[in-house]
Amino acid sequence: MKAFYGTKLPNPLMLGTAQYPSPAILEQSFRKSSAAVATVSLRRESGAGQTFWQMIQDLGVLILPNTAGCHTVKEAVTTSHMAHEVFGTRWIKLELIGHTDSLQPDVFQLVEAARILTEDGFQVFPYTTDDLIVGERLLGAGCEVLMPWGAPIGSGRGLNNEYALRAMRAEFADVPLVIDAGIGLPSHAARAMELGYDAVLVNTAVARAGDPAMMARAMVRAVKAGQLAYQADPIEARDMAEPSTPVIGKAFLS
């Protein structure tokens, strides 16, 4: 696994902290997942108060604050600075939403905000599309990580465009890539890792499951299985059958 701004994660699963039925279930889900990173919205923390923040600290995970709900560069930059004051980290997951229904990022403002935040000393994790040109612009703005969506946030559709995600992995071979948004099943998470991605960020699929802790456990097993499969250099798909038993040495009856 590649390092994220110099930090290597012991686990390729990142877990969000929103929408859980209760703080106790959130905590249990994190324990079962062994997730190394928790994404936390400044709005979420402010609403939950000190008890929530203390629980997150007690988990012993890395904190990745996000700018959820921001629609302008100014709002995203201001929220990032406030998050730094609250959480004490230079990491920031930069979300800058442009479309209300799909929650698709506004990639034009995203690049500008990423440039400003990088110049301000932040280590930016941009939530972006699977567009190669946007990826290049974000890297040029100072980002060292890209977080393309698999599908719209909370949709549970998995990986909508594997071709584009494959192309992104090939184009940015040395860049840490994280699938962010759209994961609905452990099989989706495993598939992302099989494509060579370095981590998967999951929130809704765990938090809204009938048993969040059990789903969290399933997700961590899936990402580890997918990671191992990628490292094992799997066979390519074929249109025709290929016998697994060699013909040479086969007995023939007269």
Query: Tell me, what DSSP letter sits at residue 35?
Result: -
181 in the Ramachandran plot: left (φ > 0), alpha (ψ -120 to 50) or beta? left
Residues 6+ apart with CB under 8 A from 76: 67, 70, 94, 95, 96, 109, 113, 117
Please give the Cα distance from 80 to 85 (Å, whole number): 9
Interior angle at CA 203, CA 129 and CA 12, nearest 5: 75
| 7 has binding-site annotation | no
| 203 has binding-site annotation | yes
| 156 has binding-site annotation | no
- 2 counts as catalytic: no
Strand ranges inside 101-244, DSSP E: 123-128, 147-148, 178-180, 199-202
| 204 has binding-site annotation | yes
* 121, HSE (Cβ side, Cα atoms, 13 Å): 5
Contact 4, 176 (CB under 8 A): yes
Contact 42, 60 (CB under 8 A): no
Please give the Cα distance from 89 to 164 (Å, whole number): 32
| Helix (H), strand (E) at residue 40 | strand 37-41
Query: Which residue among the candidates 8, 93, 224, 250 is catalytic per the annotation?
Result: 93
| 181 has binding-site annotation | yes
| Helix (H), strand (E) at residue 83 | helix 73-87
Binding-site annotation, residues for 1-deoxy-D-xylulose 5-phosphate = 154, 181-182, 203-204
Please identify every residue annotated as catalytic. 93
Binding-site annotation, residues = 154, 181-182, 203-204
